[in-house]
């Protein structure tokens, strides 16, 4: 069976868009083929800066005919007295495009009807391909797309040619102002002329001659091999920085390795600055000796075969020299004053117009971190670290190096603090108070740094919510969602226990009088925002094991009990673990308590509240009632004697205990339901029974709202 | 001379700064561009010239090329830095609508000035140009020669907050950088500007070094803060009146004057962070109004 070869020729795509686009091309097109029942033996896609390529092997040439049985009116209506078709039968035949000879009788569970088999002839693949391919092209989820000609069609960069062959045949299709053909091009500078394509094998052979390596994996291998060979000469190693490599292997269609050298003197400025220049700005790899020390060399790729490697190496080195000179200049200038003095500059850096300067923010961070630190039981040494670090955490924002390289914020703060002789923990806290910076990022190691991070994020979130600039839709300029998620992760990881509203209260306090009037509304808005993020994170956490239950477990824990993130997580995880350990037992416990909970909810819907009081006791007369009452009191005593401890693990084991007390009630509750009518006619008896069930619900509510499971 | 250079394959004799500009003018004239002249109001970039800012709006075809002397007061270094100046030259080309072979046209323009792309490892490096203050953005590349940016190549998508109904190509050559590569010079002031008939060499420094010194003093020390603050308000007011009178083209010139007054104030260190945001916000909104009015009257 024939193969499909589809190549989208483009102007240079952004490096990081290439691999995802190729992956999408393959997955999306496979889905479309499957939907149309077009079978194939294999499908592959590749990308380079100048082309996205799709290969499908042994693709079906024509869809199979589809047979469908359609049923008409019943025989009694379909045939007239003389045995000929009635109007209603003819109506059916004509409306479905059938012939009278197609009709046969069929017995169904609704009696005997007239029926026919309709055959839908399958389409030829070559007729389906144009719209399928164009739809896939339109669907590629590039981060940014552009228009370039009159049709208004969009792509990441202009499409300049399309090659589409199915078998030996050209498949005519059009995207924007480009019509497909049977021609392709080689490397832009080394083989740009058009060449004729007749088959995949011939195409691949031509590309190999024309300096195009289709596979990014092959490009990476070739680059690493070339780099290792060159580095062996100077006794250096090549350490692959994966993040950088993901870009570099997609910068060129064919890699040519260049080894360059820079002035050794630059090794005296912090290596972070050098690496930042090389990696982020020039896409060069740093080079290290066998002992791990940085060497004054770099490795990079040229996109065109160097006519003289020395010239290429020197050219690239020259750009690097200008950049290093800039870095060295700003570093020297920054070092004219200690970081503590530089921090004075924060009073002229605006954080947000209504929320004041970054200096004011730092002062609030300090207050909040210290207050929370005391509440969470940090020791004197840790509190001292917070006090020393807080005025410095943002200080590097006014340095020249961070002005030039914003990605070094925090890192330069650490370096300058160490050079100033600040304690090591202080320097570490400065750098790591930004962590976690993004989803899945590492957390700070020090508790002092965790509190500074928490206080910083809390300050941004509460402040921005208070001035009414909470994110709406996709716009989240202050990254409040990320801040809230970071806070939740810190609270859970470090076992910091405090109701969310209290955390917000501590932050509001640090703003002094500013938001006193609207404190209540700000608290509720900020709390909702944080809990919403916590819910998302919890669902994600639980969903790793089993998605079906994640939402229910998260919600059941969030609906009742304290609004303390650590506590919520511990409760949800406990339930989840219980469910995973013993599914049947768990489900039957849940059923029983759900029933109790639902009865109470329904009774209380009228606004009445049922609480077990001494006066109710006299109305318990049936033995199963009395048994249940005893069991409930016992479980309640045990549950109340559980000491609430700090860490996530301690909380979890506490909730496992409470769950086991709930389980203890279950048999008594079952026989209660089996033998007693809760909604008794006697009002006093009814109230007593409802109050008892309410007591049970309250015990269960210590963990979660079971009615939600 | 151009042809000999290409036949040789390599640049063995020097293309002067002046010759480079002349060749670019010739090339783009031959390729259907109007050769326009710089804006006579101070601008920070060729994009701000009305030949670009206003003409990219709407659907009328427009192909233009011009040198733009660009002023960035805060970048002055008294003529002491080998790369940085408060006044430099851009070569700006607008191709509207985008030709299908825009990249080839650009590469051939480099060949025309004797800059063989193959010899300099020319690369199109992703760079999404964005000027939020003017509500403008486009996708394209920084063009690198051996790791150094020599041109900004943009498919303009939106300008002045207005989606461009006909996208266009914007090429902005950094003339000094390009020349420094071609002449293999490390200090901009050593660039050969031209050689006079009797063989006397004129350098970039001969033409501009003293300017850099004096203007840096002006920008950083002497420029009157009061006057520029006052002028900003006057120009702004004038622009508003002109817009009310349906005269967006002169109004736009006054916006440019505002923008330059602001840049001078900024270089003088007279603008606090808060004021800065306010100034930029005002420039943005009135520039957008000019664009809207221009388009409205153009249709």
Cβ separation A149–B145 shorter than 8 A: no
What pLDDT, on a 0 to 100 scale, did the predictor assign at position A527? 96
Q: What is the DSSP letter of A233?
A: T
Task: Report the 10 Å Cβ neighbour count for B191.
Answer: 23
Which helix (H) or strand (E) segment holds residue A27: the answer is helix A15-35
Helix, strand, coil distribution of chain A in percent, nearest 5: 55, 15, 30
Sort A697 into a burial class: Cβ within 10 Å, 0-12 / 13-18 / 19+.
buried
B83 touches chain A (CB under 8 A): yes
Sort A57 into a burial class: Cβ within 10 Å, 0-12 / 13-18 / 19+.
middle
Cβ separation B272–A348 shorter than 8 A: yes
Instruction: Give me A150's structure tokens.
Output: 């009159």
Question: Could you tell me the pLDDT band of residue A560, with boundaries at 50, 70 and 90?
Answer: confident
Distance CA B140, CA A16 (A): 14
pLDDT one-digit tens code per residue, A631-661: 999 888 888 888 776 788 889 889 998 898 8
A622 touches chain B (CB under 8 A): no
Query: Greater confidence, A544 or A465?
Result: A465
Q: Which long-range contacts (CB under 8 A, 24 or more apart) does B69-72 make?
A: B69/B38, B70/B43, B70/B44, B70/B45, B70/B46, B71/B42, B71/B43, B71/B44, B71/B260, B71/B263, B72/B44, B72/B263
Chain A: give the shortest CA distance to residue B123, in Å: 7
Task: Report the 10 Å Cβ neighbour count for A438.
Answer: 10
Helices and strands (H, E) in chain A, number of each type:
25, 18
Question: Measuring CA to CA, how many Å separate B184 from each of A6, A555, B179, B187?
Answer: 44, 68, 8, 9
pLDDT one-digit tens code per residue, A408-417: 999 999 999 9
Query: Is residue A28 over pLDDT 90?
Result: yes
B230 touches chain A (CB under 8 A): no
State whether residue A452 is helix, strand or coil. helix
In chain A, the percentage of residues whose pLDDT exceeds 70 is: 99
What pLDDT, on a 0 to 100 scale, did the predictor assign at position B15? 93
User: What count of CB pairs under 8 Å joins A to B?
Assistant: 85
B158 touches chain A (CB under 8 A): no
Cβ separation A150–B97 shorter than 8 A: yes
How would DSSP label each residue in A138-186? HH---SS-B--STT---BSS-EEEEEEEETTEE---EETTEEEESEEE-
What pLDDT, on a 0 to 100 scale, did the predictor assign at position B61? 97
Identify the top-confidence range among A228-242, A691-705, B130-144, B235-249: B235-249
Question: Measuring CA to CA, how many Å separate A347 from each of A329, A434, A514, A674?
Answer: 24, 20, 18, 72
Q: How many CA atoms lie within 13 A of A88 on its CB side?
A: 11
State whether residue A703 is helix, strand or coil. coil
What pLDDT, on a 0 to 100 scale, did the predictor assign at position B13? 65
Name every chain B residue with its beta carbon within 8 A of the beta carbon of A315.
120-121, 145-148
What pLDDT, on a 0 to 100 scale, did the predictor assign at position B276? 81
Chain A: give the shortest CA distance to residue B251, in Å: 30
pLDDT one-digit tens code per residue, A382-394: 999 999 999 999 9
pLDDT one-digit tens code per residue, A270-323: 999 999 999 998 999 999 998 999 999 999 999 899 999 999 999 999 889 988
Task: Report the 10 Å Cβ neighbour count for A117.
Answer: 12
Check if the beta carbon of residue A344 is closer than 8 Å to that of residue A380: no
B12 touches chain A (CB under 8 A): no
Question: If you average pLDDT over residues A572-580, what whole number do you get?
Answer: 88
Distance CA A434, CA A443 (A): 9
In chain A, the percentage of residues whose pLDDT exceeds 90 is: 68
Instruction: Give me A696's structure tokens.
Output: 């049970």
* Positions of chain B with pLDDT under 70: 1-13, 133, 273-274
What pLDDT, on a 0 to 100 scale, did the predictor assign at position B1? 37
Question: Measuring CA to CA, how many Å separate B64 from each of A251, A425, B50?
Answer: 31, 60, 11
Query: Is residue A707 over pLDDT 70?
Result: yes
In chain A, whose CA is at the least distance from the CA of B141? Answer: A12
What pLDDT, on a 0 to 100 scale, did the predictor assign at position B274? 67
Listed residue (B137, B158, B133, B130) closest to B285, CA to CA: B133
Query: Is residue A213 over pLDDT 50?
Result: yes
Chain A: give the shortest CA distance to residue B144, in Å: 10
Q: What is the DSSP letter of A287?
A: E
- C-alpha A678, offset from chain centre: 48
Check if the beta carbon of residue B220 is closer than 8 Å to that of residue B264: no
Query: Is residue A143 over pLDDT 90?
Result: yes
A416: Cβ contacts below 8 Å, ≥ 6 apart: A334, A335, A338, A339, A342, A395, A396, A399
Name every chain A residue with its beta carbon within 8 A of the beta carbon of B105.
none
A150 touches chain B (CB under 8 A): yes
Q: What is the mean pLDDT of chain A?
A: 92
ipTM: 0.91
Question: Could you tell me the pLDDT band of residue A458, with boundaries at 50, 70 and 90?
Answer: very high
pLDDT one-digit tens code per residue, A495-520: 999 999 999 999 999 999 999 999 99
Listed residue (A71, A137, A152) closest to A107, CA to CA: A71
Q: What is the DSSP letter of A446?
A: S
pLDDT one-digit tens code per residue, A181-203: 999 999 999 998 999 999 999 99
Question: Measuring CA to CA, how many Å separate B263 from each of A387, B256, B276?
Answer: 40, 10, 10
B165 touches chain A (CB under 8 A): no
Sort A551 into a burial class: Cβ within 10 Å, 0-12 / 13-18 / 19+.
middle
State whether residue A9 is helix, strand or coil. strand
Owner of token pair 């508790």: A447
In chain B, the percentage of residues whose pLDDT exceeds 90 is: 79
Q: Considering only A66-70, A366-370, A473-477, A545-549, which range has the smallest mean pLDDT?
A: A545-549
Q: What is the DSSP letter of A2?
A: -
Distance CA A135, CA A28 (A): 10
What pLDDT, on a 0 to 100 scale, did the predictor assign at position A251? 94
């Amino acid at each position: 069976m024939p193969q499909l070869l589809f190549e989208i020729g483009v102007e240079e795509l952004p490096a990081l868009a290439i691999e995802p686009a190729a992956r999408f091309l393959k997955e999306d097109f496979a889905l479309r083929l499957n939907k149309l029942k077009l079978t194939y033996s294999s499908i592959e896609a590749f990308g380079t800066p100048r082309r996205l390529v799709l290969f499908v092997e042994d693709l079906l040439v024509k869809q199979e005919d589809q047979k469908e049985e359609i049923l008409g009116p019943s025989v009694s209506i379909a045939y007239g007295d003389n045995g000929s078709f009635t109007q209603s039968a003819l109506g059916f035949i004509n409306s479905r495009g059938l012939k009278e000879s197609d009709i046969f009788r069929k017995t169904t569970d609704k009696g005997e009807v007239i029926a026919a088999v309709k055959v839908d002839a399958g389409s030829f693949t070559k007729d389906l391909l144009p719209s399928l391919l164009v739809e896939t092209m339109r669907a590629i989820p590039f981060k940014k797309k552009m228009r370039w000609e009159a049709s208004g069609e969009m792509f990441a960069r202009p499409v300049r040619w399309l090659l589409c062959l199915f078998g030996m045949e050209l498949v005519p299709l059009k995207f924007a102002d480009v019509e497909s053909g049977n021609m392709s091009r080689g490397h832009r500078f080394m083989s740009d002329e058009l060449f004729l394509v007749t088959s995949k094998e011939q195409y691949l052979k031509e590309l190999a001659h024309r300096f195009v390596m289709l596979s990014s994996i092959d490009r990476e291998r070739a680059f690493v091999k070339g780099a290792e060979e060159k580095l062996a000469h100077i006794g250096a190693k090549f350490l692959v920085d994966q993040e950088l490599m993901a870009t570099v292997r997609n910068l060129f269609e064919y890699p040519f390795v260049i080894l360059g050298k820079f002035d050794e003197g630059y090794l005296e400025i912090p290596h972070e600055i050098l690496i930042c220049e090389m990696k982020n700005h020039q896409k060069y790899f740093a080079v290290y000796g066998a002992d791990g020390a940085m060497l004054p060399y770099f490795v990079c790729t040229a996109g065109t075969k160097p006519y003289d490697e020395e010239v290429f190496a020197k050219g690239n080195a020259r750009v690097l020299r200008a950049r290093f000179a800039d870095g060295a200049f700003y570093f020297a200038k920054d070092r004219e004053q200690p970081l503590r003095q530089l921090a004075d500059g924060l009073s002229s850096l605006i954080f947000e117009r209504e929320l004041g300067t970054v200096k004011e923010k730092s002062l609030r961070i300090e207050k909040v971190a210290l207050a929370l630190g005391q509440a969470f039981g940090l020791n004197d040494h840790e509190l001292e670290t917070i006090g020393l670090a807080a005025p410095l955490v943002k200080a590097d924002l006014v340095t020249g190096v961070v002005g030039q390289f914003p990605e070094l914020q925090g890192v330069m703060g650490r370096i300058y603090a160490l050079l100033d002789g600040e304690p090591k923990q202080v320097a570490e806290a400065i750098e790591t108070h930004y962590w976690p910076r993004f989803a899945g990022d590492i957390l700070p190691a020090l508790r002092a740094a965790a509190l500074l991070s928490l206080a910083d994020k809390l300050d941004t979130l509460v402040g921005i919510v208070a001035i009414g600039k909470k994110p709406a839709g996709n716009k989240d300029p202050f990254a409040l969602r990320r801040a809230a998620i970071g806070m939740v992760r810190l609270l859970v990881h470090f076992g910091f226990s405090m109701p969310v509203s209290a955390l917000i209260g501590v932050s509001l306090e640090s703003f002094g009088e500013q938001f006193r009037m609207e404190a209540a509304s700000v608290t509720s808005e900020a709390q909702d925002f944080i809990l919403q993020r916590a819910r998302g994170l919890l669902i994600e956490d639980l969903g790793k094991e089993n998605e079906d239950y994640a939402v229910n477990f998260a919600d059941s824990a969030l609906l009742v009990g304290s609004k303390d993130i650590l506590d919520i997580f511990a409760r949800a995880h406990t339930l989840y673990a219980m469910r995973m350990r013993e599914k049947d037992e768990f489900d039957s416990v849940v059923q029983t308590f759900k029933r109790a909970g639902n009865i109470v909810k329904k009774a209380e819907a009228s606004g009445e509240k049922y609480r077990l009081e001494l006066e109710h006791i006299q109305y318990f007369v049936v033995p199963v009632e009395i048994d249940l009452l005893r069991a409930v009191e016992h479980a309640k005593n045990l549950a109340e004697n559980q000491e609430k401890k700090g860490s996530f693990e301690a909380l979890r084991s506490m909730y496992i205990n409470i769950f086991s007390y709930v389980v203890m009630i279950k048999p008594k509750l079952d026989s209660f339901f089996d033998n007693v009518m809760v909604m008794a006619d006697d009002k006093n008896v009814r109230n007593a029974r409802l109050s008892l069930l309410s007591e049970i619900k309250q015990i269960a509510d210590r963990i979660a709202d079971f009615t939600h499971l | 001379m151009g042809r000999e250079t290409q036949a040789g394959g390599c640049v063995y004799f020097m293309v002067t700064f002046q010759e480079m500009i002349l060749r670019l003018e010739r090339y783009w004239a031959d390729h259907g561009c109007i050769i326009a002249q710089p804006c006579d109001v101070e601008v920070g970039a060729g994009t701000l010239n009305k030949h670009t800012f206003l003409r990219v709006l709407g659907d009328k075809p427009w192909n233009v090329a011009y040198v733009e002397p660009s002023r960035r007061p805060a970048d002055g270094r008294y003529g002491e830095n080998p790369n940085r100046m408060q006044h430099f030259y851009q070569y700006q080309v607008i191709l509207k609508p985008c030709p299908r072979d825009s990249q080839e046209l650009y590469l051939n323009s480099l060949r025309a000035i004797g800059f063989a792309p193959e010899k300099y490892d020319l690369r199109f490096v992703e760079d999404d140009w964005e000027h939020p203050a003017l509500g403008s953005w486009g996708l394209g590349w920084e063009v690198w020669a051996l790791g150094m940016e020599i041109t900004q190549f943009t498919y303009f998508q939106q300008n002045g907050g207005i989606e461009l109904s006909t996208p266009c190509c914007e090429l902005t050559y950094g003339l000094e950088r390009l020349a420094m590569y071609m002449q293999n010079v490390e200090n901009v002031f050593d660039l050969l500007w031209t050689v006079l008939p009797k063989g006397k060499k004129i350098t970039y420094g001969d033409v501009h070094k003293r300017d850099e010194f004096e203007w840096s003093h002006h920008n950083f020390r002497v420029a009157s803060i009061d006057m520029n603050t006052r002028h900003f308000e006057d120009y702004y007011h004038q622009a508003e009146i002109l817009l009310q009178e349906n005269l967006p083209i002169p109004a736009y010139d006054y916006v440019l004057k505002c923008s330059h007054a602001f840049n001078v104030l900024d270089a003088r260190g007279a603008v606090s962070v808060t004021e800065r945001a306010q100034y930029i916000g005002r420039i943005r909104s009135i520039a957008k109004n000019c664009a809207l009015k221009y388009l409205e009257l153009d249709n």
